[in-house]
Chain A
C-alpha cells in the first residue's frame, strides 16, 4: 500500500490538506514536520520518483526496516524526512502503511524502535499519543513513523513494522484447533 500513495492532481488537494492547519476544530495540531509534503507530490503507480525536497545536507542515513513478515530491507534516508516519507519515497512495500498520509488520523505508520534509539527521540505530544494508543501491537518503544524525523544519529538503526494482525490471529486459530 505504501507505494500506492497518489495525490489527485487537483485543487482538491490544497484546501483539504490545509484544513488541519486552518480548522482543526480549534485543536492545535502540533504537527512537527516540514511543509506538508503530500501537497507537493504526484506519483504514478509504477514510478518511484522521490519528490520530497532534499535537505540542504546531502548526508544519507542508513536505516534497516523489518517488515510484517520479518523480512529486512535496508535503505537510505535524508535528514529531516519523516520515517513515513522514507517508506513512501523508497517504495517500501508495507501493507497498509500510512493510511492517513501523515495527518495523525490513524495508527498505521506504527513503528517499533530499539530502546536506545527510542530514548533519544523527541518526546511525544498528546496528539501522537492519542493515535498511538489505538495501534495494534503497541510496545514501550513504539512511535508513529510520520512523527519521527531522520537524524544523523539514526544511521544504522533498525525499525520494525509490527507483525500483521493476520498472523497473530491465524496462530491463535490453529492452536485452538489442535
Chain B
C-alpha cells in the first residue's frame, strides 16, 4: 500500500484526512512512496477519451518516463468519434483503436470512464489533483442552420444521425423518418457522404458491419430512394475528399445524378490547381458526363450546388418537415475562398428527412476553462490555454471540428510537446507531488460515481464482440449506458 503525500490545497467539503485515509486503504498506483527518492512523477489529467485524448496521452507517456496520465471520459466506453463517428463500413479507419489500447494498458496510464467533468468533478478539482489538465473533449454539439422549421420532426443534425447508427447512447431513440422517397442532406463534406452512403447502401453490406441493430432494422424498412446532397457553393468548393466520393460513385445499386451544366467551363479552370482538388473535380466531372452503363439503378444520389436553405417547410398538419426551400446562389471570387451570394431565386424540394451536416461544434463544459463562444473553441496558443496556467487543450476543442484522425494525431502530439516543454522549463511546476487519481477516486466515491476502468471497457468489448459473432458482425454495440455499466462491473 502506498501513501499519498498530499500537499496540494484541498477543495471545499473534502477533507485532507479523509483523502489520506482513503489513499492508505486503496492501492493507488503511480503515487510516490513515503520517503522514496524516485524521480519526479508528474500527474497529468486528460479530459476526453477520444483520439485527441489518447494520442496526447501516448506522446506524453513515450516522451517522459515518469509521467502518470489519467484519461477521464464521460461515457463508460472510450475512443470517442473513432467508435461513434467513423462509419460502420469503414472498419480499417478504426485500426487506431489498437494503438489507443496499447496506450491505455500501460502502467502509467489510467482510464476513468463514466465520469463527466464539469458535473461529477470540476476542472478546479482536477487542477488541484494534477499538475496539468488537458482538455480534449471534442465537439459534442452541432452548428445550427438558424432557419425556420429547423425544430420540426424529421430534421436532424448529422451528428445525431451518425450517433444513431453508431450507437451513441443519447441518440438511440432518434427514430428518423425514413418513409419518404427523398432525403436532403445539407453540406457536402465527408460526413454528408457518410450519411448518404448509409441511407443508400445495400443491406447485405450494411448487415456485416458494426452498425447498431436498431438502426439496421429501421434502414431495412426505409423507403428512401433518392438523396440530394446540397451545398451553398460550387463543385470546386466541395469539402468531401476523393476516396469518399469514389466510394459513392461505385456504391452498388445506386447511380449518381449529377448535372453536367454544373461543370461547364471547369475543365480549363482545373488545369493549374493543386493536384488533390484537380483530381477530385475531374472525378466529379467524369461522373456527371458519363452515362451509367447497364440498367438504371433503383437508388440515386446527387450533389446539388449553389443552393442555400432558407426554410424547412412543414406538412399540412405542421407535425413534421415535408420539404425545404433552397435559395439559389452564385459565387463571388473563386477557389477555396469563393463566397456564395443570393440571387433572389428560390426552389422547393419535397422530402421527408433532412440531415444538416454543416459541422460539429464544441461546447463549454466548466466555468474554470476559458471558452471562445464565437469560434466555439478553447482559446489557446500551441495547446496552452490562454490566461490559464496548467490548462492545455488538444483536438477539435482546440482547433475546431475539422480534419481526419491523423490531423488530430499531429495536433495532439503538438500539445503534448507544449506540456513537456513547460515541465522542462519549470513553467509547469512538477516539483511538488500531486495526488492525482487517489484524490479523484476518493472524491468520486464520495459522490456516488463509479468510474469504469479500462478493464471494465474490455469486458464490454468482449460482450459486444461475442454478440456480434452470433450475427456475423464485428460487434453488436451496447447502446444503453446502464447495460454498459452492468457489464463493466461483472
Contact = CB atoms under 8 A, between A and B. Distances in A.
Given A11-B465, A133-B242, A26 B251 contact: yes
B413 A96 contact: yes
A12 interface: yes
Interface string B280-297: 000000000000000000
A117 interface: no
Contacts of A7: 98
Interface in A94-138: 95-96, 99-101, 103-108, 126-127, 129-131, 133-134, 136
Contacts of B406: 96, 99, 106-108, 134
A8 B243 contact: no
A166 B469 contact: no
A8 B209 CA distance: 18
Interface string B64-90: 000000000000000000000000011
Contacts of A100: 92-93, 95-96
B279 A26 contact: no
B490 interface: no
Contact of B409 (A26, A96, A131): A96
A47 interface: no
Given A10-B465, A26-B252, A166-B417, A134 B247 contact: no
Contact of A6 (B89, B90, B101, B413): B101
A40 to B, nearest CB: 14
Interface stretch (A14-22, A48-56, A78-86): A14-22
A97 B292 CA distance: 39
A103 B409 CA distance: 17
A99 B94 CA distance: 9
A127 B474 contact: no
Contacts of A12: 465, 474-475
Interface in B406-424: 406, 409-410, 413-414, 417
A23 B98 contact: no
B201 interface: yes
Contacts of B382: 169-170, 173
B96 A99 contact: yes
By CB atoms of chain A within 10 A, which of B55, B92, B201, B209 has the most? B92
Contacts of B409: 96, 99, 108
A23 B99 CA distance: 24
B471 to A, nearest CB: 11
A4 B58 contact: yes
Contacts of B102: 4-6, 45
B53 to A, nearest CB: 15
A136 B98 contact: no
A146 to B, nearest CB: 11
Contact of B58 (A1, A126, A165): A1
By CB atoms of chain A within 10 A, which of B58, B102, B205, B382 has the most? B102
Contacts of A130: 241-243, 246, 279
By CB atoms of chain B within 10 A, which of A15, A27, A169, A170 has the most? A15
Interface in A143-178: 164-166, 169-170, 173
By CB atoms of chain B within 10 A, which of A95, A101, A173 has the most? A95
Contacts of B417: 166
A127 B243 contact: yes
A105 B58 contact: no
Given A19-B92, A166-B410, A133 B276 contact: yes
Contacts of B103: 4
Interface of B: 55, 58-59, 62, 89-96, 98-99, 101-103, 105-106, 197, 201, 205, 208-209, 241-243, 246-247, 250-252, 275-276, 279, 381-382, 404-406, 409-410, 413-414, 417, 462, 465, 469, 473-475
25 contacts: A5-B99, A5-B102, A7-B98, A8-B101, A16-B94, A19-B474, A20-B92, A23-B89, A25-B251, A26-B250, A38-B95, A96-B413, A99-B95, A99-B96, A100-B95, A100-B96, A101-B92, A103-B95, A105-B95, A130-B242, A133-B275, A133-B276, A134-B241, A166-B417, A169-B414
